Amino acid sequence: MQVRGIHHLGVAVADIDESISTYERLFGARLEGRDELSEQGVNAASLFVGESRVELVAPTGEDTHVGRFLARRGPGMHHVALETDDIEGTLRRLVREGAELIDETPRRGLFGLEVAFVHPSSVHGVLTEVVFDG
């Protein structure tokens, strides 16, 4: 079995600090860490909500992927990341099954993870990330 389960739920927000506070207050979340991918224009925080992870992503400017997402749809769920123990094998399977990949080969994502995104049109509108987390 390649896919282990949900690695994290990605949520697009305008203000990282305010959003961390919301998840702490409402659901007892604990901050795991913060990171930034400047070439993608994203600031991020990883939270543990119980045993699960929520990744908050905020744009560093309006003309970024997350900035345009917020302008178009407002804050909310942005992507789901599925953890795999074999990212190359998972990508081969996706291609074989006709899925459209945004990243045809794995790249370095937030928090040092090896990641690749699948186009939402192949997954009923869900922007899906596959993640290898060591």
37 or 80, CB closer to a copy of itself?
Answer: 80
Smallest distance, a copy of itself to C-beta of residue 48, A = 8
In angstroms, give the least distance from the CB of 53 to a copy of itself. 8
Q: Which helix (H) or strand (E) holds 25?
A: helix 16-27
Query: Which SS3 state, helix, strand or coil, does residue 22 take?
Result: helix
Comparing CB distances to a copy of itself, the nearer of 82 and 110 is: 82
Question: Closest distance between a copy of itself and the C-beta of residue 55, in Å?
Answer: 12
Nearest distance in Å: CB 125, a copy of itself: 3
Residues that bind a copy of itself (CB under 8 A): 1-6, 9, 11-13, 19, 22, 25-28, 49-52, 73-77, 80, 82-83, 93-94, 97, 99, 118, 120, 122-126
Strands (E), 13-61: 30-37, 42-49, 52-59
Kindly give, in sequence order, each residue whose CB lies less than 8 Å from that of residue 110, ignoring residues fewer than 6 positions away: 35, 37, 42, 44, 46, 55, 57
Alpha-helix residue ranges (DSSP H) falling in 29-78: 65-73
Q: CB-wise, 8 or 110, nearer to a copy of itself?
A: 8
